[in-house]
Amino acid sequence: MIRLDKFLAQMNIGTRSEVKNVIKKGKVTVNGLVCKNADTKINENVDKICYENHEIMYEQFVYYMMNKPAGVISATKDDKDKTVLDLMGDNKPNDIFPVGRLDKDTEGLLILTNDGELAHNLLSPKKHISKTYRVLTKEKITDRQLTSLQNGVDIGEKNLTQEAVVEKIDEKEILLTIYEGKFHQVKRMLKAVDNEVVYLERLKMGQLSLDDTLDRGDFRKLTQEEILVLKSGK
């Protein structure tokens, strides 16, 4: 069971205050009857909810893309720092969470969902889901460093990092695609070749690219096509 106003807010009808207003105006029906009480409890899987005569279908799973800014952490809650969920305001589903993590100072593509199976598949080392980063470095990138990053480097783990795809954009800028997700991996890889990351932005996860129309801190629901791309595991 869920409050009517919260259900409508989660289904993107409006903010909590906005949906309370449309409920008060009699624009919402529950099982064919006008309901003006925002705190009415409904069964989202059974009850028929309509807004302005249009049925609002319940979505069990939700999928969002965020352009994460620096300065917030990839967590559901934190006592000290602002989290990516804080950026989503009050309309987010209770059970939504970020898929994996970007460091506090890292920006770019972050997926948020309540679909645990999808999150597991995207993060599973066995799936080898690619992640592409824009990396700005402190020192100029040498050919030797590029070759080492491509072939695998020692970051203090049992094995070298897996082979990566590296594209040199400028003297101190590369696009780095990796197929694993070890802790601080990109930063540790650059350190292993005697360089240092000064800026890091994730541009792509699998075949899903960051929407370049999203400003830092903004987010939007994924399209059905984008959801299918993620679920394809490519």
Tokens 């207003």 belong to residue: 21
Q: Is 39 a catalytic residue?
A: no
Tell which residue, 138, 143, 148, 132, has the closest CA to residue 193.
Answer: 148
Q: ∠ CA 11-95-38 to the nearest 5 degrees?
A: 45
The residues that bridge with 41 in the sheet, in sequence order, are: 3
Q: Pairing relation of β-strands 63-68 and 165-170?
A: unpaired
DSSP string, 91-133: GS-TT-EESS---TT-EEEEEEES-HHHHHHHH-TTT---EEE
- Catalytic hit among 47, 103, 105, 218: 103
User: Residue 138: exposed, middle, or buried by beta-carbon count in 10 A (0-12, 13-18, 19+)?
Assistant: exposed
Q: Which residues contact 137 (CB under 8 A, 6 or more apart)?
A: 172, 173, 174, 190, 195, 196, 197, 198
DSSP string, 6-66: HHHHHTTS--HHHHHHHHHTT-EEETTEE---TT-EE-TTTS-EEETTEE----SS-EEEE
The residues annotated with a catalytic role in the active site are 103
